[in-house]
Structure 1
Amino acid sequence: MGGDFLSMFHLETKRLIWLIGITFSIILAFQYVEPNYGNVLLSLFSADRIPTSSESTDTNVTILNHANFTDELSIQKANATIDTVSITGFVLEPILSQNKSQEKVNSYSPSPENAPTNLSPPFGSTTNVGPNITTAVLSNDDNITNSIKNESFSPSSQNGGNVQDKSSSISSTVPKERQEIHVPIKEVTTVSEMNKLLLQSHASYRSMKPRWFSNVDQELLQARSEIENAPIVKNDPNLYGPIYHNVSMFKRSYELMEERLKVYVYREGARPILHSPFLTGIYASEGWFMKLMEANKRFVTKNPKKAHLFYLPFSSRMLEEALYVKNSHSHKNLIQYLHDYVDMIAARHSFWNRTGGADHFLVGCHDWAPSETKLRLANCIRSLCNADVKEGFVFGKDASLPETYVRNAQIPTRDLGGNSFSKKTTLAFFAGSMHGYVRPILLKHWENKDPDMKIFGKLPNSKGNSNYIHYMKSSKYCICAKGYEVNSPRVVEAIFYECVPVIISDNFVPPFFEVLDWESFSVIVLEKDIPNLKNILLSIPEKRYLSMLMRVKKVQKHFLWNKNPVKYDIFHMILHSIWYNRVFSATS
């Protein structure tokens, strides 16, 4: 009996060992095929390890033990499949193949004498940094490594007070652009086609599924349901229905934003690139938004667990001012700076990793903002002045930011308004520098060719730009021709001075496109139709023109900066576009 019992005991033990082995094998197999939770196993064994490498086509995720980084002899790496899509024109398709090979993380510290001295690290407090900084250089294999050393670095107060780490060095490599699956893109996408693409995106585009559930996810899904089933608005004195795609949905969405939206603003980051709003000039939109967002008490929350959105408060304009090396024709050190900033955010907070950045947003007006943010920040909601269909603008995720030329930071609405219809003596007006290829074509056909068409190059300087403003106020139509990029401050200037905008910029997504019906108050002319411009304008009946002019006045309030934000103004409209896109892209 004793021998039989012992044999049975050995048999059951073997079965138990086999069962444990099979279970462990299944877990390992799951590790390599599960799309959303790539490093579950590693995270179980090491709670303080966070993925910080950039998300590129090879989808490798580097796991760093930040607490013991200087003591480790090797860096553990694991292949992880990222839940991502390849943006191919207007169609969102899954990436069909993935490169499983591992890349070594470059770690290169350039000598201070060979590096620029004006780079401020993205880490630390919001005060100006000292001179002890080692910055980015270009290596032989055309990858950038950015090793930043700051001997006196003070994190924000929420991270445990002052810390000094003289050996701290963080380096990462700018990933190569994704090798995307391309489909043919039409040469020109009309506004009508853009409207269809937006509707398709809201119906089908969804961001990455959150890695763990939060109450805010359910709140976003509830908001979407309420917007889609919004009560019909018949008469609202604050909203003029014809200028919107769907005034009922807009009103309900705006109300829900006011009632529920909470935004967490990251405190990390050094001036002047972060937390430094610039309030005048053609890039003022991003500065005004930053200033008003950071000071806002209605939407901003100090508890990130309650946040529906996370704001990355950097200035694309100040990024260029601080870091671009004149005549270098390279943005790589600017891109690297943003990558390091995001890596730092992801290492200090869990919220970026929860959604892959899908609930984070940025506001950038500089022409380079799309290219600077299309890799590490590609999953974010990007509010961009340079909203170009052919340059990676994603309908249903990204938002078109109005480019506003603010001349007076103290009184941003100075000179608001235009002449009455009877005093609009000029048919069409344009003046500007010969940036890009469209404006020379415009002048070739219309400069000094017709007294009704006041088409000029750059006007002589005048106090307060009075000549330019006079022409805008006294013209029926204001020509908004693209410069180097698709965006132009003239679009908002025309509305500001009550002149019907004529947009000549193929593939430009107009501001607040999610809610505004631009065809109801503007004229959109294809670049190829510039020779026929006057006939196009004269073919518009006077009754139709007067209707558009009245609608320009109705839509004007959505494009005005106020030192203290008011309902439906440009600050709230920018935030609404971001909120609206997040609501319709959220995944349960």
Structure 2
Amino acid sequence: MLLCRSGRPNTEGLSKMVYEFRQFWRLETRNLLWLIGMLIAIIFLFQYVELPNSSFQLSVFSHSKALKMGNTSFSGGNSTFISTVLSDTTSQSPLSDAFEEKDGDSGSEGDSESSFGIDEDSRPDDIISSGGLLEKDVNSTIDLVLILHNLSTTPEKAQNLEAHFSPENASSNNNASLSHIQKEDFSSAMGSNGSFSSSPKHSPPEKAENMDAGSGIPQKAENFASTPAVFTVSDMYELLMKSHLSSNSMIPRWSSAVDQDLVYVKSQIENALPMKNDQGLHAPVYRNVTLFQRSYELMEQILKVYIYKEGERPVFHGPPLEGIYASEGWFMKLLEANKHFVTKKPKKAHLFYLPFSSRNLELALYVPNSHSHKNLIEHLKNYLDKIVAKYPFWNRTAGADHFLVACHDWAPAETKHHMANCIRALCNADVNEGFVFGKDASLPETYIPKARNPLRGLGGKRPSQRQTLAFFAGRMHGYVRPILLKYWGNRDPAMKIFNTLPNSKGNKNYIQYMKSSKYCICPRGYEVNSPRVVEAIFFECVPVIISDNFVPPFLEILNWESFAIFVLEKDIPNLKKILLSIPKKTYIQMQMRVKMVQKHFLWHPKPVKYDLFHTILHSIWYNRVFQFRPRL
């Protein structure tokens, strides 16, 4: 305190000091505010010049804020994808995935407008897709910064962007990341071999996800505001071929006699010579019919599969043989009864089968309205821990020579952690949900009404007798079908697009439409897969697949664009124009090819050559052969 000579406080000096301090503080405050304003201006300028397609919100919000946003759509072109990446890379557990409640009990399979009375519409509790392209193990700060930077580039730069994340050579519990190349280069409308695609060279469709009021369920809006790139079938096949050239599968920790078998088989396939085609294989429906013949022949001669006996019914060894999840059940039933491929000596096995039913897992363990599949994942983990503790085979390859076959929509989420290194044959084969090209296989989704006769009603009318241009009937699940109904429902006599059909015994109305239509529309529901694809082939109707980034089954051998039409979701308003643009001669050729490829999509009580059982097994075998890396 300031004192005058008399010892009293100098109030005049004190007041002057306070005044000067206030003036100084006001000056500093102005300077600080000016500095903050300049920083904000610089950020906006940088955002405008350097990151024209990214969201300012994402740039200035913290990492935790972005996580809370989840899949909320931003105004930028890639912001939804970026926010998804943040969600995937920051989440501590996969168990937080939300579940969606459908009408009815979780164990029921209500009715639908499928040809057999039930399709994917009646799935009780479909998991909400995260939409992310990266597994949660991609958590490096450097990688994340590079991803965000690359995704914020212009659309022109994005066309050449590569984001290749392969399965890591790690321990048995490591995740497999998605092998992926961001592309926007689409094939021309008509290929040289007569194949047809509705995907000309243009930018990918843009979609926005909004929360359905009151439900907490993401619903993609019709305006398609933003989405990751859409991949054509040609893009997917290119990714598959790249994975074969640069396999990142783990090298076995110790050698086995079966390793030399795989080296031999790969060499024989790569150097295959033309074979006599006496099995009725129609060459145009295959990528390379010679390679397929040779690979299939070697599978029949060499492949041995060991099936683990552990696990209690019904989740294990008790598959569903009827309904929309029948693919996993029929494969399990036929393989367990097979004496040609199955061996009781695991040291002689090239592949190890984990025989569980994803459908029965849900029926047995899912708690209705819990919105959690934590206990389902834990159940599979405990099963796998038992296998790993009892046998040495998993640890030899970190699970790379093990496989599972699962058709329930939740299977990708349930298996992408503890079973990520396995070969996963999945009905829900979605590029955006961690499907790994060259490792995973797309499993055809088939509905079986009666297990005693899976081929009942097979076939359809000749092309000249198919008077309906296009047909679809089904519940309005997901975001694609309402758009389809809006544009084509009850608007054009040539386009038979319905929400529901009048009830009839055995759904005869539906079957007759399938048998007498030129094109059968196969739009996605909540997930990318639909049994309508196989239904169309079953009834010899050219399938029109409207499901962006759905990986079609048997991609490694089948030339899908030679017998099926792929329409982008954003092109639904042009659907009739696309179909009418196909020349009559091309349609007749495609319909004939549907009949030629049909053999690969049929279940037989006793398996026959090239049928669905053998073709699924071949996909798994083929992936193992080309992913295998021998010890040097």
Query: 1:435 Cα deviation (Å)?
Result: 1.1
* Inter-partner Cα distance in structure 2 for 1:222 and 1:180: 28
Query: 1:275 Cα deviation (Å)?
Result: 0.2
Give the alignment partner of residue 243 of structure 2, picking from 194, 201, 219: 201
**Greater length-normalized contact order (CA 8 Å, ≥ 6 residues apart):** 2
SS at the partner of 2:321? coil
Query: 1:587 Cα deviation (Å)?
Result: 0.9
Query: 1:255 Cα deviation (Å)?
Result: 0.2
* Inter-partner Cα distance in structure 1 for 2:583 and 2:417: 47
Matched, 1:92 2:165: yes
Task: Tell me which residue corresponds to 1:495.
Answer: 537
SS at the partner of 1:91? coil
Say whether the 8 Å CA contact 1:95–1:181 is kept in structure 2: no
Question: C-alpha offsets along residues 9-33 of structure 1, whole Å, 9 cap, x if unaligned?
Answer: xxxxxxxxxxxxxxxxxxxxxxxxx
Query: 1:179 Cα deviation (Å)?
Result: 10
Task: Tell me which residue corresponds to 1:293.
Answer: 335
State the superposition RMSD in angstroms: 2.5
- Which deviates further from its counterpart, 445-454 or 230-239? 230-239
* Inter-partner Cα distance in structure 2 for 1:331 and 1:239: 43
Query: 1:178 Cα deviation (Å)?
Result: 9.1
Note closer, same or farther for the CA distance 1:192–1:424 as it changes in structure 2 (3 Å cut). same
Query: 1:246 Cα deviation (Å)?
Result: 0.6
Task: Spell out the pairing of 1:305-320 with structure 2 (5 A cutoff).
Answer: 305-320=347-362
Give the alignment partner of residue 210 of structure 1, picking from 252, 257, 267: 252
Task: Tell me which residue corresponds to 1:325.
Answer: 367
Query: 1:420 Cα deviation (Å)?
Result: 1.0
Give identity over the alignment, percent: 68
Give the alignment partner of residue 544 of structure 1, picking from 581, 586, 590: 586
Task: Spell out the pairing of 1:390-469 with structure 2 (5 A cutoff).
Answer: 390-469=432-511
With structure 2 as the length reference, what TM-score do the two structures score? 0.66
Matched, 1:367 2:409: yes
Task: Tell me which residue corresponds to 2:515.
Answer: 473
Query: 1:235 Cα deviation (Å)?
Result: 4.1
Query: 1:521 Cα deviation (Å)?
Result: 0.2
SS at the partner of 1:561? coil
SS at the partner of 1:550? helix
Task: Tell me which residue corresponds to 1:512.
Answer: 554
Say whether the 8 Å CA contact 1:233–1:247 is kept in structure 2: no
Say whether the 8 Å CA contact 2:167–2:249 is kept in structure 1: no
Say whether the 8 Å CA contact 2:179–2:437 is kept in structure 1: no
Query: 1:236 Cα deviation (Å)?
Result: 3.7
Task: Tell me which residue corresponds to 1:284.
Answer: 326
Matched, 1:244 2:286: yes
Higher gyration radius (CA): 2
Task: Tell me which residue corresponds to 1:151.
Answer: none
Number of residue pairs the alignment of both structures matches: 431
* Structure 2: gaps spanning 5 or more residues: 1-88, 91-135, 140-146, 148-161, 184-227
Query: 1:342 Cα deviation (Å)?
Result: 0.5
* Inter-partner Cα distance in structure 2 for 1:392 and 1:189: 14
Note closer, same or farther for the CA distance 1:534–1:292 as it changes in structure 2 (3 Å cut). same
Say whether the 8 Å CA contact 1:86–1:93 is kept in structure 2: no
Note closer, same or farther for the CA distance 1:86–1:254 as it changes in structure 2 (3 Å cut). farther
Note closer, same or farther for the CA distance 1:260–1:433 as it changes in structure 2 (3 Å cut). same
Task: Tell me which residue corresponds to 1:70.
Answer: none
Note closer, same or farther for the CA distance 1:224–1:90 as it changes in structure 2 (3 Å cut). farther
Question: C-alpha offsets along residues 322-376 of structure 1, whole Å, 9 cap, x if unaligned?
Answer: 1111011111110111111111000010001110000000000000000000000
AA of the residue aligned to 1:212:
W
* Inter-partner Cα distance in structure 1 for 2:281 and 2:182: 39
Give the alignment partner of residue 567 of structure 1, picking from 600, 609, 613: 609
Task: Tell me which residue corresponds to 1:347.
Answer: 389
AA of the residue aligned to 2:381:
H
Say whether the 8 Å CA contact 1:280–1:405 is kept in structure 2: yes
Say whether the 8 Å CA contact 1:85–1:92 is kept in structure 2: no
Matched, 1:266 2:305: no
Note closer, same or farther for the CA distance 1:425–1:570 as it changes in structure 2 (3 Å cut). same
Task: Spell out the pairing of 1:84-233 with structure 2 (5 A cutoff).
Answer: 91-93=164-166, 186-233=228-275
Query: 1:221 Cα deviation (Å)?
Result: 1.0
Question: C-alpha offsets along residues 282-313 of structure 1, whole Å, 9 cap, x if unaligned?
Answer: 11000000000100000000000000000000
AA of the residue aligned to 2:395:
N
- Which deviates further from its counterpart, 189-198 or 493-502? 189-198
With structure 1 as the length reference, what TM-score do the two structures score? 0.70
SS at the partner of 1:279? coil
Query: 1:238 Cα deviation (Å)?
Result: 2.2
Query: 1:384 Cα deviation (Å)?
Result: 0.3
Query: 1:446 Cα deviation (Å)?
Result: 0.2
Query: 1:232 Cα deviation (Å)?
Result: 1.9
Query: 1:234 Cα deviation (Å)?
Result: 6.3
SS at the partner of 1:478? strand
Query: 1:190 Cα deviation (Å)?
Result: 1.0
Say whether the 8 Å CA contact 2:168–2:248 is kept in structure 1: no
Say whether the 8 Å CA contact 2:166–2:177 is kept in structure 1: no
AA of the residue aligned to 1:197:
L
Note closer, same or farther for the CA distance 1:414–1:260 as it changes in structure 2 (3 Å cut). same
Say whether the 8 Å CA contact 1:90–1:394 is kept in structure 2: no
SS at the partner of 2:518? strand
